[in-house]
Amino acid sequence: MSSPAKVPVVPEVACDASRKLARYVAELDARKLPDAAVHAFRRALLDYLTCAVAGSGTDAARMVLDYLQSWDQSKEASVIGTPHRLSAQNAAFVNGAATHGLDFDDGMTRGSVHPGGSVFSALLAMAEKLGSSADDLIAAGVAGYDVTLRIAATVHPHTSRRGFHNTPTAGVFGAAAAASRLMRLNAEQTLNALGLAGSFSGGLRAYLQDGAEVKRIHPGKAARDGIVSAELAKRGLTGPGEVIEGRYGFIQAAAGGNAEWELLTGALGERFEICNAYFKPYPACRHFHASLDAVRTIGRRTPFRIDDVASVRIGMYEAGAAGHDQKTAENLLDAQMSAPVTTALAMAFGNVTVPSFDRANLDRPDIRRLIDVTEVYVDEECERIYPGRRSGVARIELRDGRVLEERVLDPKGEGENPMTDDDLSTKFSSNCAAVIGEERTRSLLQLVMGLKPGSAVDGLYRWS
């Protein structure tokens, strides 16, 4: 006779975690938030709009829009950067796909997750549908980020090692939280919304094998399903009350019970995780941004010709090196997920921008040679301090025997090396003006960076 299955032990710090999160979401008041959290909301919203507008013309976003337009005739919410309108949940799906279309969206190192595409896509679509106030918008956004980032940080890197993509698996909880707060659901209804979101949680990292475009739709899927979860909870459909921490809950299913439990609800209502989001200067996988910064620093300090490069070694932590060491560039995602490819572009052009990934550049013989002589390895120091710090090291050996090396502790955009408000404003203006026009870009920038409780928000939804 087989022995009964062992019941996992949930530490006291995580008991009733799902209920605590639900109560926090339902009761959060924007007017009681510290100024730092409100300002972090503005910064995150601006970066989200940058990525959604710039990504609105990507193939993945267009395909999702084409499909949904073929049968959805409702006009509840805007498809960002376009004149089109769809139901709230479908607009959220398209906008989430657009946000992740260029791999330019925000994230959080401790959780290896991109929160904006899931949370803000659900948030703005539902806010437009409901006519929500700035107060509700801010509270829902801060709550959605807290739920997403706390869950992701609790289970990373265990989920990633099992093949799950934290952005949709954790993001659907944050989207459900944001939608629930906008709809002013009570704590019990919000708990049901989170419980329902648990059964929508999903998304695999299998795209790393061949650069499959499915990665692009993961935040959109999470945003859509988060709205659906909140709408069903409002109507009385129940979800499990221990969906995150329970015997058959998310942490057991997705992480095998491995978790940093204290991160789930520790300092809830005192530490606002939206303040810990990072922003990207490069449209490529965040895992090797530190090494891109290192390569660029080396190039500025000691200029060299790429023909003079004999070999390149890129050091990262194991979670970054695994799956990002390939030297293929069959498509855009393939290139964006490859440390050797992106590092070669940084050495060739001194920076990495969206046009850097043009097919003609990837096929250049000199760049192809750089890719071939670049190796990725697990650096002991990078591994030791991850996921607390997302560091990297680059070592370039030249044909004349010189060795140039640089180690970066925090990549540009996080930790002690943040992107300033001016950096984010420049990122927004330089990527959006060509899509929505300079006048709309200026007015939207002013609106977002001045947003606070009591502000008018109608201008967020004008795209035609």
Tokens 């300092």 -> residue: 267
List Cβ neighbours of 399 (8 Å cut-off, separation of 6 or more): 308, 309, 310
Which tokens sit at 205? Answer: 């990292």
Does the pLDDT value for residue 3 go beyond 60?
Answer: no
Phi, psi of 401 (to 5 degrees): 95, -15
Q: What pLDDT digit, counting tens, does each position of 372-384 carry?
A: 999 999 999 999 9
pLDDT in tens, 118-137: 999 999 999 999 999 999 99
What is the per-residue pLDDT for 123? 98
pTM above 0.75, yes or no: yes
**Cβ-Cβ contacts under 8 Å for 438 (sequence gap 6 or more):** none
- The per-residue pLDDT for 186 is 98
138-147 pLDDT, tens digit each: 999 999 999 9
Q: Which helix (H) or strand (E) holds 143?
A: helix 134-155
User: Got the DSSP string for 10-59?
Assistant: PPGGGTTHHHHHHHHHHH--GGGS-HHHHHHHHHHHHHHHHHHHHGGGSH
- Token pair of 24 as six digits: 């926090």
Domains within the chain, CATH numbers bracketed: 12-276 (1.10.4100.10), 286-408 (3.30.1330.120)
Which residues touch 20 (CB under 8 Å, ≥6 apart)? 265, 268
Structure tokens, 248? 């058959």
Structure token digits, residue 320:
């970054």
Is 50 exceeded by the pLDDT of residue 410?
yes
Would you place residue 282 in the very low, low, confident or very high pLDDT band (cuts 50, 70, 90)? very high
Residue 5 in this model has a pLDDT that exceeds 80: no
Pairing of strands 374-378, 309-316: parallel
Query: How many C-beta neighbours within 10 Å does residue 358 have?
Result: 12
Q: Please report, to the nearest 10 degrees, the dihedral formed by the alpha carbons of residues 19, 21, 25, 29 taken in order.
A: 110
Instruction: Find all residues with CB under 8 Å of 188, minimum gap 6, and list them.
Output: 22
Dihedral Cα 378, 381, 382, 386, nearest 10 deg: 120
Nearest Cα to Cα of residue 142 among 320, 19, 268 = 268
Instruction: Quote the pLDDT of residue 329.
Output: 87
Predicted pLDDT of residue 85: 97
Residue with the two structure tokens 């265990």: 158
